[in-house]
Amino acid sequence: MTEPTVHILESTEATISPGMIDPRRPPALAIDSGDIVSCPNTWTQWGNQARFGMTFADREPLRKQFPAGPYSNLGPVVVNEAQPGDAIECRILRARPIEWGWNSFPLGVGALPSDFAEPYVHYFRFDHDRTTAPFVEGINIPLRPSMGVFAVEPDSEEPISAILAGPYGGNLDLWELTEGTSLFLPVFKPGARIWTGDANATQSDGVVDQTGIESAMEELRVQYIVHKRLTVAGPTIETPDHWIVMAFADSLDVALPNCVRAAIDFLSVHGDLDRRDAYALCSMAVSFRVTQWADQTGSVYTATPPRTIHAVIPKPVLGEALTERIKTSLRPAS
């Protein structure tokens, strides 16, 4: 078997779209299914203008400079074989952050937009192995690097803020999407046109102040594989121990039942499980977690992140036969 081709995709003004997923941009790179893309030295937020130690006042003009959103979105990557009706698998092979990052919240955002009188920013230095970040009073934060934004372009020619999310991906903010995992996305356009941005050294379920530890990647390495005529309804993630599906809405009251339906559909379509059994399984063994909660009542940004729920479906509970059936359904040619 031949080794996959490795392509280098640098972050430059020609390959970065600040704030937006922009269909008007020409391909940053064209590859074949199975090829690997290595992205060295990705940009920090606000067009790579975020710097270690900047005060909140120093950062405020940058926020206002990018009203569509802060993310430095890299792409698009075109995968030659991808066509509408296919799915693209994004295998995260490496996600090593740079040696610093920050957590911050301006006033008027997050789950508690009115609870604090002053904005906040805290900077971190990471250890050499990128495993921990010292915080305050002896607290050490374990690092779980991921890309907050992963998207194909939806079926539209209009630019959209990368703060948003939907079946095409977008602002997923899912910490489980780290090294050794795969993200499946439906393809809406020829070539898929894949974007990524918003590097996080770590974050939690909920991301309640609206940031994890924001950073950039010393190297991001992803393998892209086209699965022909494969139906996935939206972002679908495989980790070593779980399957994860997601749902987005304007409220958690809508996102939760939508996510339950997404989990039932996933187990039914790919596992051939009776829908009633799948619903019962969701109540007994599937965890439904708040991926992201954010308000933008006082933000300079023109878009508001959706409320997001993800369903964590444990492979050990499914058993070997059902797990293998799902794997075969999602990778029919492998």
State the number of CA atoms in the 13 A half-sphere of 290 facing the CB: 15
Report the alpha-carbon distance of residue 170 to residue 183 in Å, rounded: 12
The pLDDT of residue 210 is above 70? yes
Question: What global pTM score does this model have?
Answer: 0.96
Q: For the chain, give the mean pLDDT.
A: 95
- Residue ranges and CATH numbers for the domains of the chain are 6-330 (2.60.120.580)
φ, ψ for residue 92 (rounded to 5)? Answer: -85, 105
Q: What percent of the chain has pLDDT over 90?
A: 90
Distance from C-alpha of 268 to C-alpha of 62, rounded to nearest angstrom: 46
Output the pLDDT for position 333. 73
